[in-house]
């Protein structure tokens, strides 16, 4: 290999290299491909749910007439649970369509600039059908170190279920094309399905962000809610045919979205999902 030409020719010989027997079947690939499609569809819902929270919270907080505190939902942090999970109680209907606007958006929560796009929620993901919503994408997504998020989610998953997941895939860009890498994402894959954690930011208080996330359309599903002593708000949506969502809004301005995606069966029970959310909330 004395010159570039001979080096190139030598590399060309690798093209004829014998290939060992593959262990991957096309059935495996198609199954994973279908799962990836489901994750992408659900990501749209998840992104919308988190983003609507930010926009509406900003809108409600920074109304021109200064009536920013008039959030049109009831408070219920300490109310006894009427749902199946301890600490979670039903949330009244969401704000009407006129309560959510796309621009201008109030001052960003962490000195971040935003871009907006409008989309429709897909059907059957647990949030309802035909819910017009707005994406709000932080130009510089603030977040925790990926490893911290990865380890926390994995630890929470492991301690909750008592068994090892098949795989943990950190972060967004290669997992969900739509996010453009601006939403930090971790996927825990189990034999039964997947648990996806998205991290984004919200404006206003956790309760305002949670209220704003309820969705503008009347047919949107309403979640159950639990509020922790530090002000963290958790919202659990009912199971849809393809996913179940649990949002965690923290006082530091972070929104965690946990999305449970079944494959053969639901990988976690509702109680286990809530326990994972409790652990994730400790990230602050």
Binding site for another protein (CB under 8 A): 1-4, 7-20, 22-24, 26, 28-30, 32-34, 36-37, 40, 170-171, 173-174
Rounded to the nearest whole angstrom, what is the least distance from the CB of residue 2 to another protein in the complex? 8
Distance CA 53, CA 220 (A): 14
Give the chain's radius of gyration (CA, Å): 21
The residue (of 42 and 54) whose beta carbon lies closer to another protein is: 42
User: CA triplet 204, 144, 52: central angle to 5 degrees?
Assistant: 35
The residue (of 6 and 118) whose beta carbon lies closer to another protein is: 6
Distance CA 194, CA 175 (A): 13
Rounded to the nearest whole angstrom, what is the least distance from the CB of residue 273 to another protein in the complex? 25
Rounded to the nearest whole angstrom, what is the least distance from the CB of residue 171 to another protein in the complex? 8
Distance CA 156, CA 15 (A): 45
Listed in order, strand segments (DSSP E) in the chain are 89-90, 114-120, 132-138, 167-170, 184-189, 193-201, 224-227, 233-236, 244-249, 254-262
Rounded to the nearest whole angstrom, what is the least distance from the CB of residue 167 to another protein in the complex? 10
The residue (of 43 and 220) whose beta carbon lies closer to another protein is: 43
Rounded to the nearest whole angstrom, what is the least distance from the CB of residue 9 to another protein in the complex? 8
The residue (of 150 and 270) whose beta carbon lies closer to another protein is: 150
Distance CA 233, CA 218 (A): 22
Question: Which two structure tokens, joined as six digits, stand for 7?
Answer: 């080096």
The residue (of 7 and 139) whose beta carbon lies closer to another protein is: 7
């Amino acid at each position: 290999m004395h010159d570039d030409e001979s080096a190139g020719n030598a590399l060309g010989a690798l093209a004829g290299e014998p290939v060992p027997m593959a262990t991957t079947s096309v059935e495996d690939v198609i199954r994973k491909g279908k799962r990836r499609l489901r994750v992408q569809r659900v990501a749209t819902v998840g992104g919308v749910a988190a983003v609507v929270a930010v926009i509406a919270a900003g809108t409600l907080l920074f109304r021109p007439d200064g009536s920013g505190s008039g959030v049109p939902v009831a408070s219920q942090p300490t109310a006894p649970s009427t749902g199946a999970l301890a600490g979670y109680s039903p949330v009244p209907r969401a704000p009407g369509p006129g309560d959510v606007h796309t621009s201008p958006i109030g001052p960003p929560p962490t000195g971040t600039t935003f871009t907006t796009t409008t989309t429709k929620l897909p059907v059957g993901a647990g949030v309802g059908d035909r819910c017009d919503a707005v994406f709000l994408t932080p130009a510089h997504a603030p977040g925790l170190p990926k490893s911290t998020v990865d380890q926390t989610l994995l630890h929470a998953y492991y301690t909750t279920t008592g068994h090892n997941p098949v795989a943990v895939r950190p972060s967004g860009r290669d997992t969900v094309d739509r996010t453009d890498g601006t939403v930090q994402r971790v996927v825990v894959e189990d034999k039964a399905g997947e648990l996806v954690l998205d991290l984004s930011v919200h404006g206003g208080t956790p309760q305002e962000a949670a209220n704003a996330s309820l969705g503008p359309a009347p047919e949107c599903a309403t979640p159950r809610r639990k509020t922790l002593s530090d002000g963290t708000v958790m919202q659990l949506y009912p199971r849809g045919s393809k996913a179940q969502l649990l949002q965690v809004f923290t006082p530091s301005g972070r929104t965690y979205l946990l999305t449970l995606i079944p494959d053969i069966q639901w990988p976690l029970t509702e109680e286990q999902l809530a326990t994972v959310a409790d652990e994730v909330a400790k990230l602050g």
